[in-house]
Amino acid sequence: MGSFLLRRTLQLILVLWGGATLLFIIFNALPTNPAERFASGNGNRNPNPQVVENLEKKFGIDKPVPEQYVDYMTGLLHGDFGNSYVNSEPVSDIIKQKLPPSLRLAFWAIVVESVIGISAGALSARKRNSVGDWVTTLTAVILSAIPVFVLAYLIKQVTGVYAYQHDWPSWASFPTIGYGPNEYFLGIIPVNGTWKYMVQPVFVLASVGTAILARITRTSMLETMRLDHVRTARAKGLTEKKVMSRHVRRNAMIPVVTVIGIDFGTLVGAAILTETVFNLPGLGSTIVAGAKAFDAPVVMGLTIIVTLVYGLASMAVDISYAYFDPRVKLGDDR
Amino acid sequence: MARRSFKAGLVAGTLALALIASGCGDSKESSSSTTKADSSKTSDELAKTDCGSLEYDKDAPSGGTFTDYAYLSDSGTNTSFDPGAVQTLSESQITTALFDGLTEFDFTEKCAPKLKGQVAESWEANDDATEYTFKIKDDQVFSDGTPVLPSNFKAAWERNGSAELASAYGYLVTYIEGGAELQEGTTDELSGVTADDDAMTLTVKLSAANADFPSIVSHPFFSPANTKDLEKVGNTTGWGDKGLTIGNGPFVLDTANDQEVVLTPNDKWAGNVYGDTEVKLDKLVFKQTIDVETAFQAFEAGEGDDAPVPSGKYQDALDTYPNNSIVDPNLGSYYFDFGADDPQVGGEDNVKLRQAISLAIDRDELNTKVYEDTRTISTGLVPPGTPGYKEGLCDYCKLDVDQAKKLYQEWQDEGGKLTGPIKINFNEGGSHGDVAAIIQSNLKDNLGIDTELAGVAEDYFKVVAEPGGCNFCRSGWYADYPTYGNFMVDLFSAASIGGNNFGRFDDPKFEDLIAQAQAEPDDAKRGELYNQAESYMLNDQTAAVPLVWYTGSQVFRDSVQNYDQPPLGIMLWERISVGDAAGG
């Protein structure tokens, strides 16, 4: 276990360095000068040359590229991600602002995905070809097919705009944007009305993942149910309930856990549309805004964090394999 | 210089005095329903009537919270509301609520703004408009109780114009003697400014004659800086309290984060140029939203007290929300430049061709199809609301196909010949491509002229500012401050070639006229000189083709009172009342 963690940690550091270097190269290969971009008000006017020169000095991009690279990497080693070109904010402060909302959103989306997706998939597998199975399958296909921003817009139109215009009771109407009071118990459980602001974004963000998880759970369970040891368990006279809980679910969980882990890593950094439509600025939407403004420090800093979260989630998935399948030996290279 | 950024920024979606300009996009701005101009009016009618007057009910209820969704509706572009760093009209809404400058325009009559002293009691210019002495009022204090002194202005300007701060509007300091050196970083002091705190005078020597200087200092960039605040932030800036926040305006900063900026009344505020000394609201909240559509949908769901109208929804919004600013005039102009160095359309030999092109463009069609009939058709380049504005200066800003054909034929008879399609340059995105396509169709149908649509995806204004970059190129301008010179000098002077004079118009007679105007201290005479310059540029030289003037773009709730936007786009937040029902 120790050697596994050490090896994966070193791999993760290598990935972070590679990602940061790649982004640095990309930003420096772009023809757009961020100082000109900023001085022009995002391209809305022709920039003043002296202002551009001053901004280049301020941003540190007047130095030779290798020197900029060394400066950036040295900063990273000291936890300094640089300052945003757009608002001069230290990127580390931006990370502190944007990471918690992204983690909360992804966490609750994963909870919804796991509870609904796995339950529906398991039900579907156990009651194969039943009405419930068909409903689950159809719902999963529809949810997978609807783009997130369309689903979000439609939900907001109904529970926000239509509800307001037709005086729906408060329990049936939801705020369309923002965090509301933004208060949480233990940093994760929304309280004092904050939950009402999170319900819709969480369900929208979880929609596609729930559908995929339901399908994977169903398939995985059906495959497991056909295995010899399950047949043996039934032949031994175990009840169907015990067969499912002891021999099917646990074995069927490996692909499911893989999807959940990867999905969490993805949701933290790529919930761009949900964050945008519900105005919950997190890592994803901030990276996109930064890319549009050629704000290299913000894009690179936040991408490193997303990569880190993704890497940690992936590592957690690998560790979980040992629980679900005792044959898996962490640290064993064979 | 706002090409729809202090302008546009100054809304994008990003005008004010000052300001801030929002650039060239398609932003719009607003004002109240009771004073709005009729969108169906032609610009002739508009100019003849006027833009109405600011509505203000002094007896409107006080108290409550106003929650704004209109101005910070493109949060990815928000930079700072520090007066030294503010770039957009949107963010300058906060800046001007926190800070009062030396002067301010009184927009009581929207199309006839009057420059008045705000912190300045009075000012005097020398004979050639190269030196100004501002007398500072002795009753002005910052929100922390310290007095506003002449030295607070000098220190602020030195910081805002410093190379280290690298303000996008840093070039404004170069109007002052020693400003260029400050921008270059070779000095920390602004040698042209002398602050005498005992005599309460601020003496400013300019780098060149400029009779508009008292107007220019109404820009937020020239706000005073509190000494403690300045010691805290130095030549750095950022969002919220990372920049200058202790001001002398009607509000004080309560909190600022990535979700909202909250202001509360400044009980030490000395009042504005309208004579108001009271702030109606208990709290003013600017909500940051990721985009305009999100903000508008939230408004439709009952959230917030005002919102921006997304492109394409203006007519729907006009029908649904009687309280809006959609047809209110803004100090912005949308036009095309002819490239003086373009062999086909530039030069003295091609004046008649340029005049024919301008006459062949159907501005009504353009306004209807692209802007849902919400903009005002231009009759000149400089919009109404600019001091010195004169209606109908442009002889070629109307559709007259017969006259266009006649001029085109004369040009051909005199040896003119097009050797290929005329390139129409525009920045891709927004509605500029639609405008270019209509112009292309008009020129083909009305004159048989072939054109080529030449869209530019990135850094458009940099591209067209290069030699040969502008053939027949789109432009737009939102006033940084309401002066004639902000249009004529910044957009068409030889000194602006390589800057915002994309057509590279360089004409000795025009230069002489604007030089005379800049040095003319008498407002009326200065206006006449600028009128002559504009007329010469549009009619005798036809260097540009004005199309439409910008209008507003906000809707607001029935319960809101005094929501009337001056043409520059900066709201008078101290006047806003949320009525009995509101609260935000």
Mean pLDDT of B394-416: 97
Give the separation between CA A43 and CA B474, rounded to whole angstroms. Answer: 14
Q: Is B49 an 8 Å CB contact of chain A?
A: no
Query: What pLDDT digit, counting tens, does each position of B130-154 carry?
Result: 999 999 999 999 999 999 999 999 9
Min distance B503 CA to chain A CA atoms (Å)? 13
Length reported for chain B? 584
Lowest pLDDT segment from A3-7, B101-105, B370-374: A3-7
Q: Is B463 an 8 Å CB contact of chain A?
A: no
- Torsion angle, CA of A26/A30/A35/A37, rounded to 10 degrees? -120
**Contact assignment for B2 to A289 by CB distance below 8 Å:** no
In angstroms, what is the C-alpha Rg of chain B?
Answer: 23
Residue A221 contacts residue A248 (beta carbons within 8 Å): yes
ipTM of the complex: 0.82
The two tokens of residue A106 are 């992804």
Supply the mean pLDDT for chain A. 88
Of B21, B237, B298, the CB nearest to A88: B237
Lowest pLDDT segment from B35-39, B258-262, B335-339, B512-516: B35-39
Provide the pLDDT for residue A331.
Answer: 56
Length reported for chain A? 334
Q: At what angle do helices B485-492 and B508-518 cross, to 10 degrees?
A: 140
Phi and psi angles of residue A221, each rounded to the nearest 5 degrees, phi first: -70, -40
Q: Which residues contact B274 (CB under 8 A, 6 or more apart)?
A: B56, B106, B108, B572
Q: Which residues contact B425 (CB under 8 A, 6 or more apart)?
A: B454, B455, B456, B460, B463, B464, B469, B470, B471, B472, B473, B474
Give the separation between CA B5 and CA B28, rounded to whole angstroms. Answer: 11
Provide the pLDDT for residue B13.
Answer: 32
**Contact assignment for B462 to A40 by CB distance below 8 Å:** yes
Question: For residue A323, what is the enclosing H or E element?
Answer: helix A296-324
Side chain identity at residue A23, one-letter code: L
Give the separation between CA B462 and CA B469, rounded to whole angstroms. Answer: 9
What percentage of residues in chain B have a pLDDT greater than 90?
A: 73
- Going by pLDDT thresholds of 50, 70 and 90, the confidence category of residue A328 is low
Q: Is B428 an 8 Å CB contact of chain A?
A: no
pLDDT at B18 over 80: no
pLDDT at B325 over 90: no
In angstroms, the Cα distances linking B349 to B352, B411, B412, B415, B506 are 8, 8, 11, 9, 15
CA-CA-CA-CA torsion sign (B402, B405, B411, B414)? negative
- Going by pLDDT thresholds of 50, 70 and 90, the confidence category of residue B547 is very high
Beta bridge pairs of residue B451? B422
Give the separation between CA A162 and CA A308, rounded to whole angstroms. Answer: 41
Residue B584 contacts residue B65 (beta carbons within 8 Å): yes
Give the separation between CA A194 and CA A322, rounded to whole angstroms. Answer: 37
Mean pLDDT of B220-249: 95
A172 or B2: which leads in pLDDT: A172
**Contact assignment for B459 to A88 by CB distance below 8 Å:** no
Supply the mean pLDDT for chain B. 88
Give the separation between CA B392 and CA B546, rounded to whole angstroms. Answer: 12
Give the separation between CA B286 and CA B276, rounded to whole angstroms. Answer: 22
In angstroms, the Cα distances linking B518 to B3, B128, B208, B209, B210 are 22, 9, 9, 6, 5
**Contact assignment for B183 to A51 by CB distance below 8 Å:** yes
Min distance B78 CA to chain A CA atoms (Å)? 7
CA-CA-CA-CA torsion sign (B201, B206, B211, B216)? negative
pLDDT at A136 over 90: no
Which of B462, B376, B447, B393 is closest to B416 using CA atoms?
B447
Q: Which of residues 173-232 of B touch A (CB under 8 A)?
A: 174, 180, 183-185
Q: Is B79 an 8 Å CB contact of chain A?
A: yes
Of B1, B239, B297, the CB nearest to A87: B239
Which of B563, B553, B539, B392 is closest to B478 using CA atoms?
B553
Contacts of B79 in chain A (CB under 8 A): 38, 86-88
A129 or B578: which leads in pLDDT: B578
Q: Which residues contact A245 (CB under 8 A, 6 or more apart)?
A: none
In angstroms, the Cα distances linking B61 to A97, B58, B269, B562 are 37, 9, 19, 11
Min distance B243 CA to chain A CA atoms (Å)? 10
Query: What pLDDT digit, counting tens, does each position of B255-294 carry?
Result: 998 889 999 999 999 999 999 999 999 999 999 988 888 8
Which of A159, A108, A129 is closest to A268 using CA atoms?
A108
pLDDT at B324 over 90: no
Query: What pLDDT digit, counting tens, does each position of A58-111 carry?
Result: 999 999 999 999 999 999 999 999 999 988 889 999 999 999 999 999 999 999
Side chain identity at residue B393, one-letter code: L
- Going by pLDDT thresholds of 50, 70 and 90, the confidence category of residue B580 is low
B507-528 in b/e burial notation, b at 16+ Cβ within 10 A? beebbebbbbbbbbeeeeebbb
B176 or A41: which leads in pLDDT: B176
In angstroms, the Cα distances linking A266 to A109, A319, B385, B436 are 11, 19, 52, 42
**Contact assignment for B21 to A98 by CB distance below 8 Å:** no
Residue A255 contacts residue A220 (beta carbons within 8 Å): yes
Angle at B356 between CA B350 and CA B360, to 5 degrees: 150
Mean pLDDT of A207-235: 90
Provide the pLDDT for residue B476.
Answer: 92
Contacts of A279 in chain B (CB under 8 A): 289-290, 294, 298
Among B237, B290, B477, B492, the residue to mutate for chain A (most A Cβ within 10 A) = B290
- Torsion angle, CA of B453/B454/B459/B460, rounded to 10 degrees? -60
| Closest B-chain CA to A60 | B164
Question: From edge to edge, which strands make up the β-sheet containing B283-287?
Answer: B251-256, B260-265, B283-287, B65-68, B306-308, B554-556
Count Cα neighbours of B154 within 13 Å in the Cβ-side half-sphere.
24
* 3-class DSSP assignment, residue A223: helix
Q: Which of residues 248-287 of B touch A (CB under 8 A)?
A: 257-259, 287
Provide the pLDDT for residue B92.
Answer: 93
Q: At what angle do helices B401-413 and B432-447 cross, to 10 degrees?
A: 70
Contacts of B23 in chain A (CB under 8 A): 41, 44-45
Phi and psi angles of residue B424, each rounded to the nearest 5 degrees, phi first: -105, 110
Query: What pLDDT digit, counting tens, does each position of A151-191 carry?
Result: 999 999 999 999 999 999 999 999 998 888 889 999 999 99
Provide the pLDDT for residue B415.
Answer: 95
Provide the pLDDT for residue B434.
Answer: 94
The DSSP string of B94-129 is HHHHH---SEEEE-SBTTS-EEEESSEEEEEE-TTS
Provide the pLDDT for residue B512.
Answer: 97
Min distance A57 CA to chain B CA atoms (Å)? 8
Phi and psi angles of residue B422, each rounded to the nearest 5 degrees, phi first: -80, 130
In angstroms, the Cα distances linking B42 to B239, B321, B370, B397, B436 are 42, 23, 16, 12, 21
Provide the pLDDT for residue B50.
Answer: 62
Q: Which residues contact A297 (CB under 8 A, 6 or more apart)?
A: A81, A82, A83, A84, A85, A91
pLDDT at A322 over 70: yes
Query: What pLDDT digit, counting tens, does each position of B423-458 carry?
Result: 999 998 778 999 999 999 999 999 999 999 999 987
pLDDT at B352 over 80: yes
Phi and psi angles of residue B499, each rounded to the nearest 5 degrees, phi first: -105, -115
**Contact assignment for A86 to B303 by CB distance below 8 Å:** no
pLDDT at A313 over 50: yes
